[in-house]
């Protein structure tokens, strides 16, 4: 048994590609624009275009499409639950019935759209982390949040917290995998029995995991204090951020692609059957 085999969520993949070399502010702003565009998608055909964009990003980032698609695995359970709820509890034209539960045409379309929307939300966010180093991501967030510091918003502290949280997602999964293997080597069984029995069998995993999390948090706090970290203090940067023409073109491409998807949805896709 391996916990989240091949997980790539939150991991930075070093590389020298056009997307890696973009300014982190450009990538963060583009990702937020893409996430907003996903919420505007309402037909299943829209996600064909979103998949095409994902293929383009894979090509220009030099990251395999398989690695990008695997980043959505941690939320598959949530997606399945969302699809099931919308599939059986959306009123409309009944297609077939499973016992007391009816599957409607509107429910099938809405369930598919919601599931794909959640999946692409996670994949596009993971794409941002794969192509942006933790330090660049922190700098980009801090610069984007800096205008709000005038009204008391802790831009530096917020950027640091988000960077630390994202940085330790892969570490947390690795620790969980290591504890699971250790318990299995001692005879623990996580795959047999009912739901309650399997849930109870994970208690010996959760307790050492929480202990390790608190230990890492304490070690990180000690390391930051030893390096004289002061929240909100102005710091000199070895590689200051510089906005280039390529960043402007990337933002323009993302906004143009979102506009194209919305145009296709309201014109081309309206004539297609659902």
In a domain, 4, yes or no: no
Domain co-membership, 160 together with 147: no
In a domain, 9, yes or no: no
Q: Tens-of-pLDDT digits for all 274 residues of the chain?
A: 444 454 555 678 888 899 999 999 999 999 999 999 988 877 778 888 999 999 999 999 999 898 888 888 878 888 888 888 888 777 777 777 777 777 777 778 888 888 888 899 999 988 988 898 887 888 888 888 878 777 777 777 777 777 777 777 777 878 888 888 888 888 877 777 766 777 777 888 888 888 888 888 888 889 888 887 777 667 777 677 888 999 999 999 999 999 998 888 888 776 676 5
Instruction: Give the pLDDT confidence score for residue 271 in this predicted structure.
Output: 67
In a domain, 3, yes or no: no
Domain co-membership, 208 together with 266: no
Instruction: Give the pLDDT confidence score for residue 161 in this predicted structure.
Output: 79
Domain co-membership, 93 together with 202: no
In a domain, 123, yes or no: yes
Domain co-membership, 147 together with 271: yes
In a domain, 248, yes or no: yes
Instruction: Give the pLDDT confidence score for residue 223 in this predicted structure.
Output: 87
Instruction: Give the pLDDT confidence score for residue 2 in this predicted structure.
Output: 45
In a domain, 67, yes or no: yes
What is the distance between the alpha carbons of residues 116 and 19, in angstroms, rounded to a whole number?
Answer: 24
Domain co-membership, 107 together with 169: no
Domain co-membership, 129 together with 260: yes
* SS3 assignment, position 94: strand
Domain co-membership, 257 together with 126: yes
Instruction: Give the pLDDT confidence score for residue 86 in this predicted structure.
Output: 80
Q: Which pTM was predicted? A: 0.76
CB 35 within 8 A of CB 252: no
Instruction: Give the pLDDT confidence score for residue 142 in this predicted structure.
Output: 81
What is the distance between the alpha carbons of residues 57 and 124, in angstroms, rounded to a whole number?
Answer: 10
Instruction: Give the pLDDT confidence score for residue 23 in this predicted structure.
Output: 92
Provide the pairing of β-strand 101-104 with 94-98.
antiparallel
Q: How many domains does the chain have?
A: 2
Buried b or exposed e, range 245-254, using 16+ CB within 10 angstroms = eebeebbeeb
Burial of residue 273 (number of CB atoms within 10 Å: 0-12, 13-18, 19+): exposed
Domain co-membership, 67 together with 181: no
Instruction: Give the pLDDT confidence score for residue 3 in this predicted structure.
Output: 44
Domain co-membership, 187 together with 266: no
What is the distance between the alpha carbons of residues 190 and 80, in angstroms, rounded to a whole number?
Answer: 22
**What does each C-alpha distance from 235 to 25, 205, 230, 231 come to in angstroms?**
18, 40, 10, 10
Considering just the CA atoms, what is the radius of gyration of the chain in Å?
22
Instruction: Give the pLDDT confidence score for residue 8 in this predicted structure.
Output: 55
Domain co-membership, 24 together with 140: yes
Instruction: Give the pLDDT confidence score for residue 274 in this predicted structure.
Output: 59
* Domain membership of residue 196 as a residue range: 155-231
Domain co-membership, 164 together with 273: no
Instruction: Give the pLDDT confidence score for residue 251 in this predicted structure.
Output: 93
In a domain, 37, yes or no: yes
Domain co-membership, 159 together with 226: yes
């Amino acid at each position: 048994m391996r916990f989240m085999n091949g997980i790539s969520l939150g991991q930075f993949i070093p590389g020298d590609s056009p997307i890696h070399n973009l300014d982190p502010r450009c990538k963060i702003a583009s990702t937020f624009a893409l996430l907003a565009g996903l919420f505007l998608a309402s037909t299943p055909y829209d996600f064909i275009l979103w998949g095409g964009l994902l293929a383009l990003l894979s090509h220009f980032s030099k990251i395999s499409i398989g690695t990008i698609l695997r980043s959505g695995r941690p939320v598959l359970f949530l997606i399945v639950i969302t699809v099931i709820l919308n599939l059986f509890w959306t009123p409309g034209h009944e297609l077939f019935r499973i016992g007391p539960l009816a599957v409607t045409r509107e429910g099938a379309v809405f369930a598919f759209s919601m599931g794909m929307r959640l999946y692409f939300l996670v994949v596009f966010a993971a794409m941002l982390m794969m192509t942006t180093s933790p330090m660049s991501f922190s700098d980009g967030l801090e610069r984007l949040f800096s205008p709000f510091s005038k009204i008391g918003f802790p831009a530096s502290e917020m950027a640091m917290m988000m960077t630390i949280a994202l940085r330790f997602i892969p570490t947390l999964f690795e620790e969980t995998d290591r504890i699971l293997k250790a318990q299995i080597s001692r005879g623990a069984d996580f795959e047999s029995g009912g739901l309650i029995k399997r849930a109870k069998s994970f208690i010996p995993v959760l307790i050492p995991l929480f202990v390790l999390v608190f230990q890492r948090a304490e070690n990180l706090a000690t390391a930051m204090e030893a390096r004289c970290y002061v929240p909100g203090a102005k710091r000199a940067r070895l590689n200051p951020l510089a906005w280039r023409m390529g960043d402007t073109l990337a933002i323009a491409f993302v906004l143009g692609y979102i506009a194209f998807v919305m145009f296709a949805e309201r014109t081309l896709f309206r004539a297609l059957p659902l």
